Amino acid sequence: MEALPYKDQDGNDSTWPALLARVSDERGGLVSIHRTYLTEEGDKAPVPVAKKLAAGPLGNGFIRLFPPSDFLCLAEGIETALSVHELTGLPAWSVISLNGFQRFEAPPEGVRVLCIYGDNDASFTGAAGAYALAARLRARHPELQVDVRIPEGTGTDWNDVIRASRAAS
């Protein structure tokens, strides 16, 4: 795993392995680079801000992890979207953060079913964001089948679900 330099808000430098992801617009053009700093074990690095974006506005940028088919799954974070793909075998995109649910306007052409995988935050913000997106998409695209999925345990996301299932086996 490659290491990247990390600088915190106080100017302290360190080096950490990092997960890099391309943030692209609706035409596939590069908008930004998303970095997630990690430990050697693959957990989030113990730094003030483990996830960073390169400078610049995101606009309608998302992390398109897999090409959509007639199905597309959306999740907040990269790890969650990868877990959704592993659980379902379906193409998944990361909307980067809860605000990404608000930025998402329309599925790509050819998508008939959109599954929104929200987080089960104790504050209900993940579920609320997922359901607000579902309501907006259903109103604007009545031909689109929209489903929302929220994990059962409070304080969990779909990455937690898959990690728990691995630990149990």
* Per-residue model confidence as pLDDT tens for the chain (169 residues): 578 888 888 888 889 998 889 998 888 888 888 888 888 887 888 888 877 777 667 777 899 999 999 999 999 999 999 999 999 999 999 999 899 999 999 899 999 999 999 999 999 999 999 999 999 999 999 999 999 999 999 999 998 999 888 888 8
Do residue 38 and residue 114 come from a single domain? no
Do residue 83 and residue 21 come from a single domain? no
Considering the domain boundaries, does residue 111 fall inside one? yes
Do residue 79 and residue 143 come from a single domain? yes
Burial 7-22 (b: 16+ CB within 10 A, else e): eeeeeeeeebbbbebe
Indicate the residue type of 71: F
Instruction: Choose among 99, 84, 5, 18: nearest CA to 51.
Output: 18
Domain that includes residue 36, residue range? 3-53
Do residue 99 and residue 32 come from a single domain? no
CATH number at residue 137: 3.40.1360.10
Do residue 84 and residue 141 come from a single domain? yes
Do residue 40 and residue 105 come from a single domain? no
Instruction: Choose among 2, 29, 27: nearest CA to 16.
Output: 2
Instruction: Choose among 131, 122, 132: nearest CA to 157.
Output: 122
